[in-house]
Amino acid sequence: MVRVGVVGYGYWGPNLARNFNEVAGFRVVAVGDLQPSRLKAATARHPGIDTTTDIARLLARPDIDAVAIATPVSSHFDLAMRALQNGKNVLLEKPLASSSEQADRLIEEAARRNLVLMVDHTFVYTGAVKKIKDLVQSGELGDLYYYDSVRINLGLFQHDVDVIWDLAVHDFAIMDHVLAQSPGAVSATGISHVAGGPENISYITAFFDNNVIAHVHVNWLAPVKIRRTLIGGSRKMIVYDDLEPSEKVKVYDKGIQLTDSREGVYQMLVGYRAGDMWAPQLELTEALRVEVEHFSHCIESGEKPISGGEAGLRVVRILEAATQSMKERGRLVELSARSPAT
């Protein structure tokens, strides 16, 4: 039985606690939060659980084996480092840390102590993204052309991070998982419409090898909610709409082929190649459940998590580069080629 402490019981913490309690092998024994009202909510849901506002003491408890941290990003490094130093396995809400330098240090600390460091890139554990990764990696799409995601809605403005760190982090994590490569450079633009607040709209282009281009559009101020990703290849293309109740992933047997022009001097016609569309059945298990089970498996087996520190670091690097480019209105920012944590 792995005894778990949950730190941060705001929006996401209750989901973590619920899933840890429902997965065999885990038991949540303590919840820490700076807000007494949140601890009261935790007690109401989990009668008899220990609650505390003294996070340091929770992280030091010898009877706790693993810590799940769902606090603002700015606190991730301090809390996770302290937990690792106390010998705890750590699951951190996304993004892993506020900087790649912090991420590096967490990775090193976990490696030195042989502890599991995992970041909650929830989407990579969904049936949809798993199916998409299979399709891309198996070559079903042919040569990869582009990855394009829109993630917009009206809602929660964050005060400590911009819309890139809040929303685009999901897309970067999915891209990292599906494409299995890192971009060489990014160019981003964006703007803030709340005086003194972080940017609430951003557009990020990421350049990969082999003419692969990715683009992410995130916006906290949209009148409609959209969660749609297009992935184009030379043989097939994918539309992934996360808001579809079913058929979230559609695979189009469509593409282009160069043909002789029908219009002579006027235009070269690139012919439609259109075939069937196909929406594969997807695993329906709640992603967070799958993820917590994977965390359990990694603690037991010593395996590296799918969304371990390195994945978290790669995503933080893109976040850093994107924010930097956005501040400079699109200036291309190269990502260093240095491999992580070696």
In the region spanning residues 171 to 210, those forming contacts with its own copies, defined by CB under 8 A, are 185, 187, 189-194, 201, 203, 205, 207
Q: Can you tell me which of 49, 158, 297, 340 binds its own copies, judged by CB under 8 A?
A: 158
CA 125 remoteness from chain centre = 10
d(CA 5, CA 114): 19
Tell me phi and psi for residue 204, to 5 degrees. -125, 125
Report 77-116 residues binding its own copies (CB under 8 A).
Answer: none
Cβ atoms of residues 213 and 207 within 8 Å: yes
Q: Least Å distance between CB 155 and its own copies? A: 7
Of 32, 80, 39, 78, whose CA–CA distance to 57 is shortest? Answer: 32
- How many Å from the N-terminal Cα to the C-terminal Cα in the chain? 33
Report 40-69 residues binding its own copies (CB under 8 A).
Answer: 47
Binding mask 247-266 for its own copies (x = CB under 8 A): x--x-xxxxx-x----xxxx
Report 263-282 residues binding its own copies (CB under 8 A).
Answer: 263-270, 272, 274-281
Q: Does 10 bind its own copies (CB under 8 A)?
A: yes
Q: Does 147 bind its own copies (CB under 8 A)?
A: no
In this structure, what is the dihedral angle of CA atoms 301, 307, 311, 317, given to the nearest 10 degrees? Answer: -140
Tell me whether residue 190 or residue 308 sits nearer to its own copies (CB atom). 190
Cβ atoms of residues 175 and 136 within 8 Å: no
Q: Least Å distance between CB 298 and its own copies? A: 28
Cβ atoms of residues 50 and 31 within 8 Å: yes
d(CA 294, CA 123): 14
Q: Least Å distance between CB 70 and its own copies? A: 9
Report 217-246 residues binding its own copies (CB under 8 A).
Answer: 217, 219-225, 230, 232, 234, 237-239, 243, 245-246
Tell me whether residue 289 or residue 304 sits nearer to its own copies (CB atom). 289
